[in-house]
Amino acid sequence: MVSMPAGTIGRMRPESSPPQRPWDPALEELARAIVRGGGAAALTGAGISVASGIPDFRSPRGLWSRFDPMEYATIEAFRADPEKVWRFLRELERIVRGARPNAAHRALAALEEQGWLEGIATQNVDGLHQAAGSRRVIELHGSGRALVCLGCGRRYPAAERAGLGDPPRCRCGRILKPDAVLFGEMLPLGAYERALALVRGVPVLLVIGTSAAVYPVAELPREARAAGALVCEFNLEPTELTGGVAQLTIRGPADRTLPALLEAVARRSRGS
């Protein structure tokens, strides 16, 4: 599974992905702020997993080009016709099944291991942050590690999916739903509150691969800025944060810019 829109629904090996623009002034300013402030937090979206082979939902090759989200990705649609929604979910499973963490995921895990990253709040449900070694991950949209019955409430590990039929069914006969947030559903209990506490408590917030345009998750960068944090976005294109909430913007693929940040932080921490 990968990220649904918000509010409704090892160490890094530098040679594995050559840093991009290591002397970018914005990147150096960001590294300096992280080292001086003592750390950062990250808010991530679908863009960080593109290099793992998971297209952004809204990209020309993304799932929304073939599946209308209002028809296939709402809780109302699932309740009305779960078999139809599972056409979309099967394709999502197929895309995610072979995905592995990329250099961006590994760079964040390395920053955490080295004591520079307090935690990650992610809109993704692909589990790639954890697979890369990150331990402090808040899953704002749930995860793909379980299936849940909307009738009786039973939960099943996703590993049991093959033995539950297609589409998978609960013992009570109802079709199961992945434990990921669809449009129209509440976020997991306590997830937003923990993410809010995280971003309010750090001197720097990295906003990576998300437009941060859909609420309530879109509030997180604004809350961080209001609390005094330096907000830096990593994205390929301008977003609603650019030039406003985000004081810094790093352009380029996350699997290149985040390893470059990792190296810049290492240089700053060594005093070089």
Q: What's the predicted TM-score (pTM) here?
A: 0.87
**pLDDT tens digits along 37-94:** 999 999 999 999 999 999 877 767 777 778 888 999 999 999 999 999 999 999 888 8
Question: Which stretches within the chain are classed as H helix?
Answer: 25-37, 69-72, 75-80, 82-97, 103-113, 128-132, 191-200, 219-226, 254-270
Query: What is the reported pLDDT for 1?
Result: 40
Task: Sketch out the chain's domains with CATH numbers.
Answer: 14-56+101-141+188-270 (3.40.50.1220)
The question of whether 105 is a catalytic residue gets the answer no
Query: What is the reported pLDDT for 272?
Result: 52
Q: Greater confidence, 15 or 249?
A: 249
Give the active site residue among 106, 141, 225, 256. 141
> Are the beta carbons of 4 and 186 closer than 8 angstroms?
no
Query: What is the reported pLDDT for 77?
Result: 97
**pLDDT tens digits along 187-245:** 999 999 999 999 999 999 999 999 888 889 999 999 999 999 999 999 998 999 998 99
